Amino acid sequence: MTTPLAFKTLRITRHHMLREIDGLSHEEMLVIPEGRDDNVLWNVGHLLVSLSRLTYVFSGQPLPILERYLELFGKGTSAREWTEDPNPEDVLERFKSMPGQIEADYVAGNFKEYKALQITPDDNIASVEEAVAFHCFHEGLHIGMMITLKELLGLATVE
């Protein structure tokens, strides 16, 4: 089975996101700049939740992450609402391993079914391949947010 282009794109996109995260301390990942509701860790966790839902949940598979992450990083959540900070190491480890897990599960045939998700009035996501491709766009937006957060914190960005 040939792996779709979307998986290669995800590996490339994830590489660029990880370059922006690399070298940040746990403290830097948790700082919420003035006027923002997010931090670096929230963006990473949000992408983890989004990709997990788009691939596993809409394919009828069990959620491959902690249920708690939905409350911390799901759509409409804010790092300002956290009563305790999530463990950055746990979130990052899962974030780094998720693309490989999805690709392995795809090759194993675990994503045969997919519940279509309406994205615009004229388009929907109808397969896990389309979900991964759409997520790459989403992750690209968050790379931009990551760069903005780092600039607000006075941290160097990758060029």
What is the second-level CATH architecture of the domain 5-152?
A: Up-down Bundle (1.20)
Give residue 2's pLDDT.
67
Give residue 4's pLDDT.
87
- Of 59, 50, 136, 129, nearest to 94 by C-alpha is 50
Q: Phi and psi of 85, rounded to 5°?
A: -75, 135
**Structural domain boundaries in the chain:** 5-152
Q: Which residue matches tokens 């693309």?
A: 99
Task: Give tens-digit pLDDT for 87-131.
Answer: 999 999 999 999 999 999 999 999 999 999 999 999 999 999 999
Average pLDDT over the chain, rounded to an integer? 95
H helix or E strand, kind and range, residue 118: strand 117-118
Alpha carbon distance 89, 121 (integer Å): 39
Low-confidence winner among 25-29, 37-41, 119-123, 138-142 (lowest mean pLDDT): 119-123
CB atoms within 10 A of CB 109: 8
Alpha carbon distance 89, 159 (integer Å): 25
CA dist 89 to 2, 21, 48, 127, 129, Å? 33, 12, 13, 31, 28
Query: Per-residue pLDDT for 135 more than 80?
Result: yes
